[in-house]
Amino acid sequence: MRRWLNRQRSLADVALASLGRRRTRTMALLVVYALVVSVVAAVMLYAQAVRREAGRVLAQSPAVIVQRLQAGRFALVPDTYAEALRAIRGVQSVEGRLWGYYYDPVLKVAVTVMVAPEGSAHVVQDGHARVGPAVARAKGLSAGGQLLLITTARDVLRLTVDELLPDESAVLTADLILISAADFRALFDHPAGFYTDIALSVANPAEHRRVAEKVTTRMPDTRAIVRDDIARTYAATFSWREGLVLVAFIGVLAAFALFAFDRASGLSADETREIAVLKAVGWDAGDVMAMKAWEGALVSAVAFAAGYLAAYLFVFYVPAGPFDGALRGWTVVRPRIRLTPDTDAFQVATLFVLSVVPYTAAILVPVWRAAVAEPDVVMRG
Amino acid sequence: MNAIELVGIRKAFNRGLATEVWALDGIDVTIPAGQVAVFSGPSGSGKTTLLSIIGGMARPTEGRVRLDGQDVSSYSERFLTVLRRMRFGFVFQDLHLIRGLSALENVMIPAYPLGNDWHPLRDRALSLLSRLDVVHRAATRVEFLSGGEQQRVAIARALVNDPPVLLADEPTANLDSALTTQFLGILESLSGDGRTILMSSHDPAVTSSAVIQRRIAMHDGRIVEDR
Amino acid sequence: MLLQPPVLALLLMSALEVAIALAVIPFAVSIVRHWDLGDASERQVRLERRTRLVSTLVAFAMGLQILTLPVLVFTADRLAAQLSGAMCAVGTLNANAYGFAALSAQMVAFFAAVAWLALDAMDVSVPTYPLTRIKYVAALVLAPLLALAAGLPVAFFAMLEPSVITSCCARVFASDAPSVSGALAAWPAGPAMIAFYVSLAAAVMFSLHVATGRRGRASAALAGGAGLVAFASVIAGVVSFLAPAVYDDVLHHCPFCFLKAEYHHQGYLIYVPLFVATANSTWLLCASLAARVPALEDVLPRSQRRWAAVAAAGFMLVALISSIMLARSHVTFQ
Ligand SMILES: Nc1ncnc2c1ncn2[C@@H]1O[C@H](COP(=O)(O)OP(=O)(O)OP(=O)(O)O)[C@@H](O)[C@H]1O
Ligand SMILES: [Mg+2]
């Protein structure tokens, strides 16, 4: 054991010295390597954070949402349905919701207009509104400002902005305008006694699906959406997008592996001579390979740490990175969110497999070839 | 008995090609332990090739090499290496010190794969350097040493694993006469330890030196004189 | 299902393993046919050099398998969120026939690679290379196994249908499930615990016996065999009583959940020493087979002692840690 440790220590020493002697070469390799790691890491960190964010949003959304379909299209839900839903066993509370999309002719984009549920902290008085950060930014609004909306009847609805919605749950609130129920009905010419849809809360998570089934059997003209299904779709979509972006980087990874292979096989004359000298003075091919393995490990460790750190800072501390669009979709009123730093060991392991493993595989054969070279060239000038 | 026996050694390069050469063409020689011998002969007579074969750095095309009566000709590379690092110390004609490393590190490097403790190893390397009078340069990178100093570092490196046999190819080719004399002095002292020393040289200062106990003259891959 | 980073990582490792298997086969064939140490020809020298590459490749493949096992389990765990009915890795792995097959094949391939490396180490420890032919015949068996172990995860992910409703650990390892895993879970904790501790004790004792003196083939074989038995009974014990004890829930038999952060990664405390010890047992078993070869008589006993010592220590650690887990648990088994 002690011998083994001594040997490893000495080999690592030689490896370090050898890297130090070829400083430019090493630096070039390190930079490229770290860059590759950081690109892959950024995609993964970003996707994971967005996934987590979406999960948080979903956690706040209702367990089951009931929509009404008429001739295969969405229709408003009469408030009588709410009573019928309340009668279903397992349903804890029923809440009729009012919401819709408002096309803003100036921004040329649709924003979400919603009435905050009764009893929530965000209930707004008639003539007032609260807006999400992205909307506020796009329209240049601040608390106390005037928000003008055009109703379906072509009237102007003048609202005073109470306050801006907080930034932290930005995915949810970015493009949101909260108004009162009366203003909502005026804006969209929404008939009284009808809701957009109905949200159910169900105490026992295991019963979500059963409740949804009961709803559709009792009211055949409705559709019940279970939160878990949405969560599953979300998770799948985000992971799929993440995978897609990574596949786009497979070319980069392959190029990197090729680069590493080339670096490892194109030894300089100096290096070839050094290996021959080492073998001539009594190093075995196995010793040379172990020393080269140390070189690879040292380079990998530094590049991996640097690349990961760079990606971490980039994703969590530089707003709106370039992956934004690809991973979350495009919109003008894009939520500017500061993602919550979030990593785990499994993610690091995956990243390791996607970067260090290809590097190692790429240098394996060149290292072997260098290590078994004839030592007797040192006897000839 | 620490003897080296060569039986019917032949060595071809580029075998089967038009450029085929037989660098060695039937060498039979036995070198008893502790002897100081020199192979001499014109350029291309096969001295370097012979030393590589003795030291296990190249394999003979035909013939057998025996060390202490043990036939090592068909040893695998792995075990030839083990043998080499236990039995032989090499001083190459071009020295081949590793640039960028200090004299001390160069001396220690052959011992690294053995995994010995570092401090005793460093002490041994330092004591070798001081015996060879270059200990004051131990921390200097080898490319900043003079030719004579470099050679002494190379000798120290050859001795760090305490091999019974020292092989030196044209050790004085790059030395002036003062340094050659100094080198012969070192040889004398090493021979005094009971080490076998095999050299190739066509430097008369070496071949006529009193340190040399045996002179083997070669020509075209054969031994032409042995006394 | 294929387009997810951890799955891509697994696919990459699979591809490399297949590449290694393919590279090893032709070379093994040429070694079996042409290897002749007495021959100093260029070909023999070339062959010898290539053996260094093969050893490195197999070692690399073994490393990939070590990495594949946890990545596979955790990928399955993560994918559970996207499959109906799956709550953790077990549910995902159970979604089609290839999941658990892939996991077991990876494990078998891992130990096979470990055994091969043992052969390799013994072979090159003496100048006559007495095992080279056997070793490369073995490589011809190992390579397809590697390829199979690499292919199964690919098949698993390719066939993974998000719409298929799978059953999760609560059901797979439920005591009334008609399957091996169900049977393991149904195994009453009492006998399972007895088998667990008895097999561990046997493995430790036999290994210690080998570790403390110059012993013959039979002792090494016994120690190695006892180690493999202990491996099986520890896995069974984890499902039967250790996992429920860690979760403090007699109905939760999942052997993976306790690898997760929620349970402070306690699973590694069992699995890492278990795998290390079993790898050493595998070596002992190989050594007992190789001990016939006279050339190895001098070198084997030393390595054998070391392997036995590591195996004994590993199994002792498993016994100790699982005892602590049991002692800290609030679950009572009938
Ligand atoms: N690798 C090689 N390939 C082809 N021919 C070689 C090789 N090495 C040596 N030779 C040939 O073998 C012969 C013997 O060479 P060797 O280097 O042993 O001679 P030497 O006595 O050491 O000569 P010198 O005094 O010039 O060093 C020479 O003809 C040389 O050209
Ligand atoms: Mg010469």
pLDDT of residue C181: 67
Ligand 2 (ion): residues with CB under 5 Å are B 48
Which ligand does the CA of B222 lie closest to? 1
Q: Does pLDDT of A329 surpass 60?
A: no
Question: Is the predicted ipTM greater than 0.85, yes or no?
Answer: yes
Q: Which of C168, C195, C228 is the last residue of a domain?
A: C168
Interface test with C, best of A357, A359, A360 (most C CBs within 10 A): A357
CA C165, CA C100: separation in Å to the nearest integer? Answer: 17
Interface test with C, best of A233, A252, A346 (most C CBs within 10 A): A346
- My answer on whether C54 and C8 are in the same domain is yes
Q: For strands B36-40 and B196-200, give the pairing.
A: parallel
**Encoded tokens for A176:** 């949101």
For chain B, percent of residues with pLDDT exceeding 70: 99
Segment among A328-332, B66-70, C73-77, C262-266 with least mean pLDDT: A328-332
The number of folded domains in chain C is: 2
CA of A23 to the centre of ligand 1 (A): 36
A321 is a domain residue: yes
- My answer on whether C185 and C102 are in the same domain is no
Q: Is B32 in the pocket of ligand 1 (CB under 6 A)?
A: no
pLDDT of residue B5: 92
- Residue contacts between B and C (CB atoms, under 8 Å): 20
CA of B144 to the centre of ligand 2 (A): 26
- My answer on whether C112 and C206 are in the same domain is no
Q: Does pLDDT of C194 surpass 60?
A: yes
Q: A375 vs chain B: nearest CA distance in angstroms? A: 7
Q: Does pLDDT of A328 surpass 80?
A: no
pLDDT of residue B37: 94
Q: Does pLDDT of C297 surpass 90?
A: no
CA C194, CA C104: separation in Å to the nearest integer? Answer: 25
Using a CB-CB cut-off of 8 Å, the residues of chain A touching B99 are 21, 270
Mutate to test the pocket of ligand 1, among B19, B22, B47 (most ligand atoms within 8 A of CB): B47
| Cβ contact, residue pair C39, B76, below 8 Å | no
Amino acid at C324: I
pLDDT of residue B50: 94
- My answer on whether A284 and A346 are in the same domain is yes
| Cβ contact, residue pair B169, A379, below 8 Å | yes
Q: Does pLDDT of A331 surpass 60?
A: no
| Cβ contact, residue pair C52, A372, below 8 Å | yes
CA A241, CA A236: separation in Å to the nearest integer? Answer: 8
Residue indicated by tokens 């690349």? A307
- My answer on whether A69 and A54 are in the same domain is no
- My answer on whether C210 and C314 are in the same domain is yes
Alpha helices in A219-318 (DSSP H): 227-248, 250-265, 269-280, 285-317
Residue A159: exposure state from Cβ atoms within 10 A (0-12, 13-18, ≥19):
buried
A360 is a domain residue: yes
Using a CB-CB cut-off of 8 Å, the residues of chain C touching B76 are 37, 48, 127, 129
- My answer on whether C23 and C149 are in the same domain is yes
A73 is a domain residue: yes
Reported as a pLDDT band with limits 50, 70 and 90, residue A167 is low
How do residues C235-288 score in pLDDT, each as one tens digit? 989 988 898 888 888 777 888 888 888 888 888 999 999 999 999 999 999 888
Residue indicated by tokens 């000798």? B155
Which ligand does the CA of B25 lie closest to? 1
- My answer on whether A68 and A52 are in the same domain is no
Can you give the residue range of the structural domain that contains C5? 1-168
Of C40, C49, C124, the CB nearest to B74: C40
CA B137, CA C130: separation in Å to the nearest integer? Answer: 48
pLDDT of residue A319: 59
- My answer on whether A104 and A54 are in the same domain is no
Interface test with B, best of C128, C132, C135 (most B CBs within 10 A): C128
Using a CB-CB cut-off of 8 Å, the residues of chain B touching A372 are 77
User: Which residue CA neighbors atom 25 of ligand 1 most closely?
Assistant: B43
Rounded to an integer, the average pLDDT of A208-229 is 83
A185 is a domain residue: yes
CA of B89 to the centre of ligand 2 (A): 17
HEC sequence for C27-95? HHHHHHHHCCCCCCCHHHHHHHHHHHHHHHHHHHHHHHHHHHHHHHHHHHHHHHHHCCCCCCHHHHHCC
Other CB atoms within a 10 A radius of the CB of residue C180 amount to 11
- My answer on whether C104 and C182 are in the same domain is no
Of A344, A354, A368, the CB nearest to C5: A354
Using a CB-CB cut-off of 8 Å, the residues of chain A touching B92 are 280, 378-379
When mean pLDDT is compared over A139-148, A367-376, C11-20, the highest value belongs to C11-20
Q: Reading across the β-sheet that carries B21-31, which strands appear in turn?
A: B21-31, B4-13, B62-67, B70-71
Which ligand does the CA of B12 lie closest to? 1
Calculate the CA B193 to chain-centre distance: 16
- My answer on whether A240 and A348 are in the same domain is yes
| Cβ contact, residue pair B57, A285, below 8 Å | no
Rounded to an integer, the average pLDDT of A110-139 is 83
Q: Which of C138, C168, C198 is the last residue of a domain?
A: C168
CA A268, CA B55: separation in Å to the nearest integer? Answer: 27
Q: Which atom of ligand 1 is nearest to the CA of B39?
A: 21
Q: Does pLDDT of B63 surpass 50?
A: yes
| Cβ contact, residue pair A360, C9, below 8 Å | no
Interface test with A, best of C56, C77, C123 (most A CBs within 10 A): C56
Mean pLDDT score of chain C, rounded to an integer? 85
pLDDT of residue C44: 84
For chain A, percent of residues with pLDDT exceeding 90: 19
Higher pLDDT, A261 or A106: A261
- My answer on whether C192 and C71 are in the same domain is no
- My answer on whether A27 and A78 are in the same domain is no
Higher pLDDT, A30 or A341: A30
pLDDT of residue A337: 52
pLDDT of residue C215: 78
Q: For strands B21-31 and B196-200, give the pairing.
A: unpaired
- Residue contacts between A and C (CB atoms, under 8 Å): 82
Q: Does pLDDT of B36 surpass 90?
A: yes
The number of folded domains in chain A is: 2
A2 is a domain residue: no
- My answer on whether C106 and C178 are in the same domain is no
Q: C43 vs chain A: nearest CA distance in angstroms? A: 14
pLDDT of residue C300: 81
Reported as a pLDDT band with limits 50, 70 and 90, residue C171 is low
Of B61, B73, B77, the CB nearest to C48: B77
- My answer on whether A203 and A244 are in the same domain is no
Q: Which of C142, C168, C194 is the last residue of a domain?
A: C168
Q: For strands A176-179 and A109-115, give the pairing.
A: parallel
pLDDT of residue A243: 76
The subunits that touch chain C, with at least 3 C-beta pairs less than 8 Å apart, are: A, B
How do residues C109-139 score in pLDDT, each as one tens digit? 989 988 888 888 888 888 888 888 888 999 9
Q: Does pLDDT of B156 surpass 50?
A: yes
Q: Does pLDDT of A334 surpass 50?
A: no
Reported as a pLDDT band with limits 50, 70 and 90, residue B47 is very high
Can you give the residue range of the structural domain that contains A100? 64-226
Q: Are C282 and C121 in contact (CB under 8 A)?
A: no
pLDDT of residue A330: 42
When mean pLDDT is compared over A223-227, B84-88, B112-116, C313-317, the highest value belongs to C313-317
Mutate to test the pocket of ligand 1, among B11, B15, B45, B92 (most ligand atoms within 8 A of CB): B45
- My answer on whether A74 and A213 are in the same domain is yes
CA C242, CA C328: separation in Å to the nearest integer? Answer: 11
Q: Does pLDDT of C163 surpass 70?
A: no
- My answer on whether A202 and A240 are in the same domain is no
Q: For strands B214-219 and B62-67, give the pairing.
A: unpaired
Q: B30 vs chain A: nearest CA distance in angstroms? A: 22
Which ligand does the CA of B202 lie closest to? 1
Rounded to an integer, the average pLDDT of A94-110 is 84
How do residues C199-212 score in pLDDT, each as one tens digit? 999 999 999 999 88
User: Which residue CA neighbors atom 29 of ligand 1 most closely?
Assistant: B44
**Phi and psi torsions of A201, nearest 5°:** -110, 140
Q: B83 vs chain A: nearest CA distance in angstroms? A: 9
Which of A80, A35, A90, A15 lies closest to A253, judged by CA?
Answer: A35
CA C262, CA C247: separation in Å to the nearest integer? Answer: 10
Mean pLDDT score of chain B, rounded to an integer? 90
Of A6, A11, A13, the CB nearest to B116: A6
- My answer on whether A250 and A375 are in the same domain is yes
pLDDT of residue B10: 93
Cα Rg for chain B, rounded, in angstroms?
A: 17
Q: Does pLDDT of A48 surpass 90?
A: no
Residue A278: exposure state from Cβ atoms within 10 A (0-12, 13-18, ≥19):
buried
CA of B106 to the centre of ligand 1 (A): 27
Reported as a pLDDT band with limits 50, 70 and 90, residue C180 is low
**Encoded tokens for A188:** 């969209």
- My answer on whether C233 and C154 are in the same domain is no
- My answer on whether A344 and A298 are in the same domain is yes
CA A32, CA A27: separation in Å to the nearest integer? Answer: 9
How do residues B170-208 score in pLDDT, each as one tens digit? 888 888 888 889 889 988 998 888 899 999 998 888 888
Q: 3-state class of C163 per DSSP?
A: coil
CA B221, CA B41: separation in Å to the nearest integer? Answer: 10
Of A236, A354, A368, the CB nearest to C56: A368
pLDDT of residue A64: 86
- My answer on whether C209 and C118 are in the same domain is no
Using a CB-CB cut-off of 8 Å, the residues of chain A touching B96 are 273, 277, 280, 378
pLDDT of residue C243: 86
pLDDT of residue C273: 95
Q: 3-state class of C274 per DSSP?
A: helix
Higher pLDDT, A256 or A232: A256
A216 is a domain residue: yes
Q: Is B19 in the pocket of ligand 1 (CB under 6 A)?
A: no
A231 is a domain residue: no
Higher pLDDT, A331 or A347: A347
Of B81, B115, B169, the CB nearest to A284: B81
pLDDT of residue A324: 54
- My answer on whether C161 and C232 are in the same domain is no
- My answer on whether C137 and C231 are in the same domain is no
Using a CB-CB cut-off of 8 Å, the residues of chain C touching A239 are 3-5, 82
- My answer on whether A15 and A95 are in the same domain is no
pLDDT of residue A333: 45
HEC sequence for A29-72? HHHHHHHHHHHHHHHHHHHHHHHHHHHHHHHHCCCEEEEEEECC
Residue indicated by tokens 């290379």? C129
